[in-house]
């Protein structure tokens, strides 16, 4: 099933306070005296890095640390790495012993970063993005992909300040069989008029335009359509429950575009759109029974042993522009790295973080199939991933973020309303207009409960 551990809404859970354990929240130790660019820390400093041991393996972070220590010999990085890193560092943090840097994404069951966000216990690292990348001449912000900063994730308080830095990312989009398109002489449409034309061509060959694993997988495809229709500004307004965002002209175009896909869905899709049978819908792409499917890069491994049409080759395209020549965005799931507010070496921590966006670090990460959200990273990835990540180089920007946190509202769920009704729309039990209206109604109920 969908390995969606990279991003989810910041459900700010009530938890044991991990915030103030002293008065050094804004202090830095004397060993934090550093030169900005070109050099090393003026004095010896030890940085404590806590990192989740994820699917990238246990050797990636030691390789990064070795490269940084060689470039900056006055810094020693002590690594704590574990598949359950929360259990390792939470007791220490309660005792006032904080790591300087934590590599741990939002969306995990223990919700440690979400708790710290609620407690306002993360350091403001906005200055990091104005720093030059360690060992390079460009600023961090100049290397980042468009639109990865300023989301409801990097800026959880909506104050224009950055508290979480975007790290490894997995772009999402429409997956398809490149070999089928070549054999038919079809071009992959870049806009909705092209999609409608292709739907008619494919129908004559007994192939449906669209399928989806389960309705929840549209949580990356619809936001991209929303940005394509109304720009990143509309996407951000929708994530903040702005009044009228979901009934605006742009949003209406996005709902109608998705409605077109749902009108051309493969007939068995709805019946199999559940946790038990979702792979049958994914198999429709492998069997050339449907052309496009919203998904993430993990689907390649998930279906690696499944049978497939002769010559099958995975490829991915971005959500189509609403009109010919319109803009296109890719929604991506991100991991995150951050600095606790109680870190004693915040300046040295930011300098280390700047190194993580360097070409040298990106090359190391790529060897472990991890992609940094920086310009040109696609060229550094293994060949198997290049064809999937290249979509980022073909669009106008990358979007990320999710709905802002709210107090619980009994009987109200944006996820259930926005995505849970897709099966009903696909089966014709609900119209697109009815679906859109209900989403705006729920949005306003949640707006009143924003924390």
pLDDT tens-digit profile of 311-345? 999 999 999 999 999 999 999 889 999 999 999 99
- Across the chain, what does the average pLDDT equal? 89
Tell whether the model's pLDDT for residue 103 goes beyond 50.
Answer: yes
Place 213 in a pLDDT band, splitting at 50, 70 and 90: very high
d(CA 382, CA 385): 6
Phi then psi for residue 186, to 5 deg, are -95, 145
Give the model's pLDDT for residue 28.
36
Q: Cα–Cα distance between 326 and 333 in angstroms, integer?
A: 23
Helix (H/G/I), strand (E/B), else coil: 244: coil
On the question of pLDDT at 13 being above 80, the answer is no
Q: What is the pLDDT of residue 369?
A: 87
Task: Please give the structure tokens belonging to residue 25.
Answer: 């929240």
Query: 42 pLDDT band (50/70/90 cuts)?
Result: low
User: Which residue in this structure is represented by tokens 């600023």?
Assistant: 139
Q: Helix (H, G, I), strand (E, B), or coil: what is residue 178?
A: helix
Cβ-based neighbours of 304, under 8 Å, separated by 6 or more: none
Percent of the chain exceeding pLDDT 90 equals: 74
Query: Model confidence at 284, in pLDDT bands (50, 70, 90)?
Result: very high
Distance from C-alpha of 142 to C-alpha of 374, rounded to nearest angstrom: 9
Q: Are 12 and 451 in contact (CB under 8 A)?
A: yes
pLDDT band at 24 (very low <50, low <70, confident <90, very high): very low
- The answer to whether residue 25 scores a pLDDT higher than 50 is no
Strands (E), 185-328: 208-210, 290-296, 314-317
pLDDT of 387 above 90: no
208 - beta bridge partners? 290
pLDDT tens string 161-194: 999 999 999 899 999 999 999 999 999 999 999 9
pLDDT digits (tens, 9 = 90+) for 409-451: 999 999 899 999 999 999 999 999 999 999 999 999 999 998 7
Instruction: Centre a 10 Å sphere on the Cβ of residue 211 and count the other Cβ atoms it contains.
Output: 28
Residue with tokens 């990348």: 133
* DSSP three-state, residue 189: coil
**C-alpha neighbours within 13 Å on the C-beta side of residue 394:** 16
In the three-class reduction of DSSP (H, G, I as helix; E, B as strand; rest coil), residue 50 is classed as strand
- CA geometry: angle at 125 spanning 340 and 97, to 5°? 15
Query: Tens of pLDDT along 52-75?
Result: 998 888 999 999 999 999 999 999
Per-residue confidence (pLDDT) for residue 167, from 0 to 100: 95
Mean pLDDT within 365-376? 92
At residue 440, the pLDDT reads 98
Comparing C-alpha atoms, which of 420, 397, 280 is closest to residue 327?
397
Residue 393 has pLDDT above 90, yes or no: no
Count Cα neighbours of 409 within 13 Å in the Cβ-side half-sphere: 17
Q: What is the reported pLDDT for 41?
A: 52
Nearest to 156 by CA among 191, 114, 189: 114
Distance CA 63, CA 432 (A): 51
Max Cα distance, the chain (Å): 72
The pLDDT tens digits for 190-210 are 999 999 999 999 999 999 999
């Amino acid at each position: 099933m969908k390995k969606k551990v990279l991003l989810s809404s910041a459900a700010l859970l009530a938890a044991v306070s991990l915030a103030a354990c002293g008065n050094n929240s804004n202090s830095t130790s004397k060993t934090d005296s550093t030169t900005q660019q070109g050099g090393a820390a003026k004095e010896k400093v030890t940085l404590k890095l806590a990192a989740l041991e994820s699917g990238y393996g246990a050797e990636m972070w030691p390789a990064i640390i070795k490269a940084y220590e060689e470039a900056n010999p006055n810094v020693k990085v002590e690594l704590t790495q574990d598949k359950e890193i929360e259990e390792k560092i939470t007791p220490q943090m309660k005792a006032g012993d904080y790591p300087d840097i934590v590599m741990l994404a939002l969306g995990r069951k223990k919700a440690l970063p979400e708790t710290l966000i609620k407690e306002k216990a993360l350091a403001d690292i906005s200055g990091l993005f104005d720093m030059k990348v360690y060992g390079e001449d460009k600023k961090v912000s100049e290397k980042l992909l468009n639109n990865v900063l300023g989301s409801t994730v990097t800026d959880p308080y909506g104050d224009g300040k950055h508290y979480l830095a975007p790290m490894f990312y997995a772009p999402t989009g429409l997956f398809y069989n490149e070999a089928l398109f070549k054999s038919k002489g079809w071009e992959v449409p870049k806009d909705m008029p092209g999609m409608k034309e292709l739907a008619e061509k494919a129908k004559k060959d007994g192939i449906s335009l669209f399928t989806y694993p389960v309705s929840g997988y549209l949580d990356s495809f619809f936001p991209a359509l929303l940005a394509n229709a109304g720009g990143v500004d509309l996407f951000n307004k929708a994530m903040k429950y702005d009044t009228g965002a979901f009934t605006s002209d742009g949003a209406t175009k996005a709902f109608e575009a998705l409605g077109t896909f749902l009108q051309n869905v493969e007939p068995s899709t709805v019946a199999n759109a559940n946790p038990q049978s979702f792979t049958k819908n994914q198999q429709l792409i492998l069997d050339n029974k449907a052309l496009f499917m919203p998904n993430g890069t993990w689907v390649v491994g998930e279906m690696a042993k499944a049978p497939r049409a002769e010559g099958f080759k995975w490829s991915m395209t971005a959500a189509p522009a609403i009109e010919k020549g319109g803009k296109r965005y890719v929604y991506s799931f991100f991991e995150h790295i951050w600095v606790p507010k109680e870190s004693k070496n915040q300046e040295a921590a930011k300098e280390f973080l700047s190194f993580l966006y360097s070409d040298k670090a990106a090359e190391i990460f790529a060897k472990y199939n991890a992609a940094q959200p920086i310009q040109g990273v696609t060229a550094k990835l293994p060949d198997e991933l290049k064809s999937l990540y290249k979509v980022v180089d073909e669009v106008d920007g990358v979007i990320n973020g999710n709905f802002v946190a709210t107090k619980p509202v009994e009987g109200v769920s944006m996820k259930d309303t926005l995505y849970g009704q897709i099966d009903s729309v696909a089966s014709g039990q609900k119209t697109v207009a009815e679906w859109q209206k209900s989403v705006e109604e729920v949005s306003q109920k949640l707006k009143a409960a924003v924390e």
